[in-house]
Amino acid sequence: RRIVKGAGGKSALLVPAAVFFLALSAFLGDSYSRFDFPLDDAWIHRVYSRSVAFGHGFEYNQGRQEAGSTSPLWAVVTAPAHWLEGAGVEAVVVAVKVIGVLLGLGVVLATGRVAKSVTGSALAGCVAASLFALEPRFLFSCLSGMENVLLLALWAGGSAALLAGRPFLSVALFSLTPVTRPEAAW
């Protein structure tokens, strides 16, 4: 309790962030985890993302615009990773994973803010965020190259903004969820 209150509540953010990075390290034990994606869908997203990165819009096949991307916002968010292609495919994979990890960190911190807002306790926010940071499926998602972590970031950020009395930001974040995953519209 003293750690959380001692730094004016800043430790309430530092502790869950540290827990998140320590837990994430358990998923990075081999080179496959660091330099490849576990699901083929991540590579499908890479095709659309690469096309966006180089100014070709949403093309899966060169010269043909398509609406086949199930997560157009993920393709746009991760498009800059493809500017590293000159350094090799592994550089692109690592960049996409870094984007996922940064979004995951945002989810952890937003979870802490939501819990603190609901309970009025920085300690409760710290504990809730730290527990969420240990969730294996969440950690897997951060490194999967998939859009799940972007959807969580939008949802958690929208919830935190709503509870902080920022309704316009909340609506903006929630309105982006269907272009991250179509089923988020319901």
Instruction: Using CB atoms within 10 Å of the CB of residue 35, give its burial: 0 to 12 exposed, 13 to 18 middle, 19+ buried.
Output: middle
Note down pLDDT in tens along the chain; length 186 residues. Answer: 444 554 446 777 899 999 999 999 988 887 778 888 888 889 889 999 999 999 998 888 888 888 878 899 999 999 999 999 999 999 999 999 999 999 999 999 999 999 999 999 999 999 999 999 999 999 999 999 999 999 999 999 999 999 999 999 999 999 999 999 989 888
Q: Which two tokens stand for residue 106?
A: 């945002």
Of 149, 25, 14, 152, nearest in space to 6 by CA: 14
Are 130 and 160 in contact by the 8 Å Cβ rule? The answer is no
Residue in the block written with tokens 């190259």: 145
Q: What is the spatial distance between Cα 85 and Cα 88, in angstroms, rounded to a whole number?
A: 5
Cα(176)–Cα(152) distance, integer angstroms: 11
Burial class (CB in 10 A: 0-12, 13-18, 19+), 86: exposed
Q: Does the global pTM surpass 0.85?
A: yes
Nearest alpha carbon to residue 72 among 186, 180, 184? 180
Q: CB–CB of 77/99 below 8 Å? A: yes
